[in-house]
Amino acid sequence: MPNTGKFFSDLETGMKTIGISRQAMVAALVGVAMVGSFSLAPQVFSPEAGAQPIQIEAPLGAPLSFADLIEQVEPAVVSVNVTTEREVGRLADMQQFFEQFRGMPGLDEFMEQRRQEEEEEPETQEGRSLGSGFFISKNGYIVTNNHVVDGATAIQVVLQDGRELDAELVGKDAQTDLAVLRVTEEGEYPFVNFGDSHTMRKGDWVVALGNPFGLGGTATAGILSADGREIGPDSPYTDFLQIDASINRGNSGGPTFDLNGNVIGVNTAIFSPTGGSVGIGFAIPAELADEVTKALIKDGKVSRGWLGVAIQDLTEDMAEAQGIKDAKGAIIADVTSGSPAEKGGLERGDIILSVNGDKVTDATSTTRLVGKLIANTANRFEIIRGGKKQTINVTVGERPSSPNANITPSSSSPSDDAVEDGQVVSEVGGTFEQMDDELRERLGLKAGENGLVITKVSKDGVLEEAGFQAGMVILEVNNKPATSVDALRKAISDAKRANRTKVLVAVRIGQITNYRTIDLSDAE
């Protein structure tokens, strides 16, 4: 049998002889990731007396040309060149190459030997990325995206006149994908002002400038396509502007202007199945960018308000179960022990209607309003509790880096602990027994808290239709503790007498609580 381990070693040696590196063979197949961190002491931003941002008088109607606008604002726009460094695995880079030899004798031994070598002598690789940015002050502060500079070991900006200047990171905020830089060379720089995206209407002209694909000094024009866009769970505090002015890779961090030369958005993402522009781009609204960048310049970070609650959208079914006509709001599903919410008096089952007078429409809008609050300040929360409106003052804390770290899912499925003992409630198609101390402790509940364990769910019953399973624990029924099976039956009877077809239930699954409704329309 041939020595196949030697074959792979010879193959590797031959590749080196003809000047082909492992990285070169797979460079077209893998991308360079940016990791690590880089930070400097934050500097306080003080607007210079008499300094004026670039301002333009907008033409009436559709402009014949955007040239005058672009000519005046372009000096404030820069290209951002970033150097990063990361550990790389040579074996991972060669994985696809060796895949064609999978199954040949000796391959596994060869790969294992190389894997051990990598653990002993890890390699690092330098990476580079390109983005855009713009000056917001005369003394050299620049706004860009967090993802442009994340993991940077060196940052350089290129001005319109071709000058290349070193820049330092002042602060960054991953939640809004914003970062602030400052050029290290003293001088006076042309800068632009943040405008107000709320003054823009769908269909208004916008102009985007930036550094797509490293080309630099590129301008595109289009209209505001939409506002208030949500583009993913990683951006819970941002309602994005959608624009159809072409933006591509490298435009990240660049400005989108209105016709007055005000920045109404910071370009941050595109929607594309191909990786290139298909006419759908997203920008961070100017008023949010202005607020975040001021905090970054002042403190080097953004301190967000934190309540310490788990919330859900208040659905129409949940509102109906409580006799509430307006279904706009967020219901508190759980309150973290020792949190600002608990100290302020908020409770599970409270429905949040507004924060400091600003109406909430769902869980997302509530999260954003709370996130905008200044940590350690008192704020007014209008709520509904037990069918009655009231106002509670809560001093919000500073959001921790991992606010849900103490919440862990159950290690077993609900049915693992289920037994079929207990009392049958035929109206909902389920069998229940009271929760014991051992289960209460395992679910992370307070000592003495009441609950009914579902031990059996009847086929085609209303519990099954609502998604309940054996092993789940019902904590509340229509905002009252589920102290017993009789209490459950009474809540069902009360709902029927009030001509309501829905019952609101707080259910514990592992260490997570959420609200669901049981539809009594088809109950016996």
Cβ atoms of residues 310 and 509 within 8 Å:
no
DSSP character at residue 416: G
3-state secondary structure 273-340: CCCCCCCCEEEEEHHHHHHHHHHHHHHCCCCEEECCEEEEECCHHHHHHCCCCCCCCEEEEEECCCCH
How many other C-beta atoms can be found within 10 angstroms of the C-beta atom of residue 510? 19
- Return binding residues: 147, 177, 250-252
Which positions make up the binding site for substrate?
147, 177, 250-252
- 3-state SS of 23-80 is HHHHCCCCCCCCCCCCCCCCCCCCCCCCCCCCCCCCCCCCCCCCHHHHHHHHHHEEEE
Q: Which helix (H) or strand (E) holds 487?
A: helix 485-497
Q: Which amino acid is at 464?
A: E
Q: Distance from CA of residue 151 to its chain's centroid?
A: 19
The CA distance from 172 to 180, in Å, is 6
Query: Of the candidates 226, 369, 199, 359, which has an alpha carbon nearest to the alpha carbon of residue 286?
Result: 199
Determine the Cα–Cα distance for residues 359 and 168; give it in Å rounded to an integer: 40
**3-class SS of residue 368:** helix
- Residues designated as active site: 147, 177, 252
> What are residue 513's phi and psi, to 5 degrees?
-110, 135
Q: Which two tokens stand for residue 26?
A: 């797979």
d(CA 419, CA 332): 30
Those residues whose C-beta lies under 8 Å from the C-beta of residue 3, and which sit 6 or more positions away, are 106
In angstroms, rounded to a whole number, what is the distance separating the alpha carbons of residues 56 and 186? 27
Q: Which helix (H) or strand (E) holds 256?
A: strand 255-257
CA angle 195, 197, 200 (to 5 degrees): 110
* 310 neighbors 331 (Cβ within 8 angstroms): no
